[in-house]
Amino acid sequence: MCGRYALARSTRELASLFDGREAPGLGESYEPSYNLAPTRLAVGLALVSPGDRVLDTYRWGLVPAWAGDPSIGNRLFNARAETLSTSKAFSDAFAHRRLVVLADGFFEWHAGPDGRRRALYFHRPDGAPLALAGLWERWRDPTHGRHEPLYSCTIVTTGAGPDLAGVHDRMPVVLEPALLDRWLDPGRHDPHDVGALLRPAPAGTLVHHAVNPRVGDVRNDGPDLVAPYEDHELRLFD
């Protein structure tokens, strides 16, 4: 967790909601998706200078600067909050390159009494976008150093809060708007200071509903994947 999420809002709306500005060319690189998976382009908010929040895209799956090739990012799409400061892959980004990954909501799968896994969609009760704690990195191919760098990111996870109780034991870190600058500020290096933000969301932060099992296939996309879904087969045997 988190391994799949949705973001279909326009970057213009996101920039307005989060008091930021769009990076040049963002409109060309951004593709809305109701089923965004690792290695796809995520939209993140970074603080480039005091008061200057910039919205841009990052490949989901962090590629550390020291990596020999970008394939390592395929499994580094989540970072555990408990080990950020000691992880070889994430410690430098945690100290200097923190990010807010924006999402409309995220998916989790839960096994019911019959053993079947059902997809659930978690989102804010008022429909506002989620600001998820993340990290970003800049990587250059060591064999072709003159090529454009690859910008990538990861989503930070923590223990599950009450809104995910019984569904999963972990969840992405959800940041409230008033805490964004504290998380994003590259001048804050004390891991105890920024690490204190990495806690489970309190009860009522999220609500969820069942969604179409088609979301399990990353090739599927569209608004029907986040719409409430009634499992007729489940009802038949209730």
Overall average pLDDT of the 192-214 stretch: 95
Query: Rounded CA gap, 48 and 54, in Å?
Result: 7
- If pLDDT is split at 50, 70 and 90, which confidence band does 1 have? low
HSE, CB side, 13 Å, CA atoms: give it for residue 37: 9
Coil, strand, or helix at residue 36? strand
At 208 the pLDDT is 96
**N-to-C CA span, the chain:** 29
- Length of the chain equals 238
Q: Which residue has the tokens 């007729």?
A: 232
Residue percentage of the chain with pLDDT more than 70: 96
Give the CATH fold of the 5-236 domain: hypothetical protein yedk fold (3.90.1680)
- If pLDDT is split at 50, 70 and 90, which confidence band does 134 have? very high
Residues 236 and 132 sit within 8 Å (Cβ to Cβ): no
Overall average pLDDT of the 72-96 stretch: 96
At 234 the pLDDT is 45
At 147 the pLDDT is 76
Residue positions annotated with a catalytic role: 2, 108
At 151 the pLDDT is 97
Angle, alpha carbons 57-58-59 (nearest 5°): 130
Query: Rounded CA gap, 60 and 39, in Å?
Result: 5
Overall average pLDDT of the 50-67 stretch: 95
- If pLDDT is split at 50, 70 and 90, which confidence band does 43 have? very high
Instruction: Identify the burial level of 49 via C-beta atoms within 10 angstroms of its C-beta, where 0-12 means exposed, 13-18 middle and 19 or more buried.
Output: exposed
Q: Where are the domains of the chain?
A: 5-236
At 166 the pLDDT is 87
At 237 the pLDDT is 33
